[in-house]
Amino acid sequence: MVVKYVCRNGAIRWGFGKWVMVSTTLAAKYVGLEEMAEGKWRVYYRDTLLGYLDEERLRIQDGLGRLRRAEKKSAKV
């Protein structure tokens, strides 16, 4: 298990000069990373699984494999 500090910008440092966005909500907190396979990591906050980090893409995806949030549907007036 590797522990990383989430900076004020909501990201963790990965390697030399690389950043991975986690969440601004977790700024100034620590997250844990558990390596599953070469270049694939589980990302935890306390005992909650946040998602999976792919070192190649430097992105965290949720448990369903989504890399970004679904776009909000605009309400028609």
Give residue limits of the domains in the chain.
Answer: 2-61
Report pLDDT for 77: 56
Q: Which residues contact 23 (CB under 8 A, 6 or more apart)?
A: 6, 10, 50
Report pLDDT for 11: 97
pLDDT in tens, the chain (77 residues): 999 999 999 999 998 999 999 999 999 999 999 999 999 999 999 999 999 999 999 999 987 777 765 555 555 65
Report pLDDT for 71: 54
CA-to-CA distance for 66 and 77, rounded, in angstroms? Answer: 30
